[in-house]
């Protein structure tokens, strides 16, 4: 351990001022500040898997050289609270994005990224080609029909859901 006495008087004074200022700044901003460490119980709770039922999961097979594809799946939430999904990831692509299919004023269909997708309480969210879906962007290799891709979904609290989706031709 590094002894405080080894620090110069100026560094010790700055450190003391900084430690005193943090709670004061938080209070002046109207926020309370919790300086407690998370407990083992709360840390374990955030890693619990999401309680969603997965059906009809699939990754769309694309020709070699195409670097992006889609993941479609139906997610059913048996719980009494909505589940807000905030990210997706997989080892087969550089990144994955939650997407919406939208129409513009001229009626043209396109896609846009969304920060979250919600599976309603006691409800179902269908990810498909006509609505919300997951885009795998920057495929690291060609995906072969029949192989199974693992996609990890994460919610706001950090809970995860591992989806095993076979690659299928459209």
Summarised one tens digit per residue, pLDDT across range 9-54 is 544 444 444 434 434 444 444 444 433 334 334 444 456 789 999 9
In this prediction, residue 48 carries a pLDDT of: 75
Give the Å distances, CA to CA, from 32 to 18, 25, 35, 107, 156. Answer: 17, 10, 10, 48, 22
Sequence-separated (6 or more) residues with CB below 8 Å from residue 19: none
Instruction: Specify the CATH superfamily of domain 45-168.
Output: PCu(A)C copper chaperone (2.60.40.1890)
User: Whose CA is closest to 78, among 45, 58, 55?
Assistant: 55
Residue 153 in tokens:
């979904």
Domain residue spans of the chain: 7-36, 45-168
Identify which has the larger pLDDT, 13 or 61.
61
Summarised one tens digit per residue, pLDDT across range 121-160 is 999 999 999 999 999 999 999 999 999 999 999 999 999 9
């Amino acid at each position: 351990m590094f002894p405080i006495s080894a620090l110069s008087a100026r560094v010790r004074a700055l450190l003391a001022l900084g430690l005193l200022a943090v709670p004061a700044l938080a209070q002046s901003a109207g926020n309370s500040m919790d300086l407690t460490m998370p407990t083992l119980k709360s840390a374990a709770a955030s890693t619990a898997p999401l309680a969603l039922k997965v059906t009809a999961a699939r990754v769309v097979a694309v020709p070699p050289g195409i670097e992006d594809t889609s993941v479609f799946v139906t997610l059913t939430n048996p719980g009494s609270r909505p589940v807000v999904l905030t990210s997706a990831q997989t080892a087969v692509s550089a990144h994955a994005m939650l997407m919406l299919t939208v129409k513009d004023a001229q009626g043209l269909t396109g896609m846009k990224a969304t920060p979250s997708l919600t599976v309603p309480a006691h409800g179902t969210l269908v990810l498909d080609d006509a609505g919300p879906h997951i885009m795998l962007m920057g495929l690291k290799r060609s995906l072969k029909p029949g192989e199974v891709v693992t996609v990890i979904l994460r919610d706001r609290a950090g809970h995860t859901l591992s989806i095993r989706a076979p690659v299928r031709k459209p």
